[in-house]
Copies of this chain bind each other. A is one copy, B any other.
Amino acid sequence: MMRYHKVPEETIKRMPQYLRALLFLRQQSTKYITSRGLSEYVLLNPPQIRKDLSYFGAFGLRGTGYEVEPLIKQIRRILKLDVEQKTVLVGAGRLGSAIARFPGFQRYGFNITDIYDNAGKRIGKKIGKIQIKDVAKLNKIKANSVKIAIIATPPETAQQIADALVKAGVTSILNLTSAYLAVPKKVRVRTVDLAMELGMLPYYT
């Protein structure tokens, strides 16, 4: 894996976009795709795409392009999505419950193994096969070596949850709240604020 060391962070950031496009193409029974074909999905120009993919030793054949299935495998391996990724979910309200059952995550190898909430009425209940635990017991996850967490709590509690998750050894957080999370540098936070995403649409109506 030596040769991956020099891959720019920007390229890594774009990898999930490629994977998303390739999974879609596979579903449509597409076997090969050129960099030009891919450019319609990832909104990058073909030279950029070729450069990105070349970092990982993937070279498309002129005219034929890249073979979809091996490229999916390759990107999955690079992104560590080829192994099961245990994921903890905090917040079992409406959004959290939907997230817990979201079929899309499994497609990427994510497996939500623990769900926490602070509401007495939810603790002990099950979502699918997983029993909701008291958020006060978040420190227990270290033993399970879960590194990835999703926060789907109200924004007011997101920071304290993030603090507890970091303390418990989590290094990657998907933040679905409107809060900004302060975390140590070694911890990655990816924020998706659905209201903000919707926020730019009316301008063009």
Identify the A interface with B (CB < 8 A): 12-13, 15-17, 19-21, 23-24, 27, 41, 78-81, 85, 87, 94-95, 97-99, 101-102, 104-105, 107-110, 147-148, 150, 155, 171-174, 176, 178-180, 188, 190, 192-205
| Most chain B beta carbons < 10 A, residue from A98, A200, A204 | A200
In the bound complex, what is the Cα–Cα distance between A95 and B99 (angstroms)?
Answer: 7
Q: Which residue from chain B places its CB closest to the CB of A82 in the assembled complex?
A: B202
Min CB distance A72 to B, Å, is 12
Q: Determine whether the beta carbon of A200 is less than 8 Å from that of B104.
A: no
The count of identical subunits is 2
Contacts of A147 in B (CB 8 A): 202, 205
Can you list 7 A-B pairs with a CB-CB distance of less than 8 A? A102-B195, A104-B178, A109-B202, A148-B202, A150-B198, A171-B205, A190-B198
**Bound-complex Cα distance A13 to B197 (A):** 10
Task: Find out whether the CB atom of B15 lies under 8 angstroms from the CB atom of A179.
Answer: no
State the Cβ distance, A48 to closest chain B Cβ, in Å: 17
In the docked arrangement, what's the CA distance between A79 and B201, Å?
8
Say which residue of B24, B94, B188 sits within 8 Å of A98 (CB atoms). Answer: B94
A21 to B196, CA, bound (A): 10
Are A104 and B188 in contact (CB-based, < 8 A)? no
Name the contact of A199 in the complex, choosing from B19, B95, B98, B176 (C-beta under 8 A). B19
Are B99 and A194 touching (Cβ within 8 A)? Answer: yes
Decide: A172 and B17 in contact? CB cutoff 8 A.
no
Please give, as numbers and ranges, the residues of chain B lying within 8 Å of A27 by CB-CB distance.
155
